[in-house]
Amino acid sequence: MGQVLADAWAKAGLKGKVVIAEQAKWQEAWYSVGPGQKRIAMGASGHDNFGDSRQTFDAYLTCGGRASSYCNPFLEERGAQTRPLVGEDRVRAFRDIWKQA
């Protein structure tokens, strides 16, 4: 997908570079924000929730989550309560969290 986009943009006169990186290097580049660190302009990755909301919740809805610009202590506590849950109990708990969010 990245190469297809880079080719299309090149035809429009835009230069791009496709870099395929293993996960640790990708995360370092994606989350780098320190002095002297260069943030990548655009990125894509798989989202491996496999039907579960834990990864998305932790990244976007927790106070201080890696991709979060949101902080709600009530929802954060609700999320913590989902950790031991499995099956339909977990599904219902996350549905409720997403409705509230």
Predicted local confidence at residue 50, as pLDDT: 63
| The two structure tokens encoding residue 80 | 């913590």
pLDDT band at 92 (very low <50, low <70, confident <90, very high): very high
Q: How far is CA 14 from the centre of its chain?
A: 27
The model's pTM: 0.54
Residue type, 13: G
Tell me: pLDDT of 16 over 70.
Answer: yes
Q: Are 79 and 58 in contact (CB under 8 A)?
A: yes
**pLDDT tens-digit series, residues 25-77:** 777 777 776 777 777 777 766 665 666 788 888 888 899 888 888 899 999 99
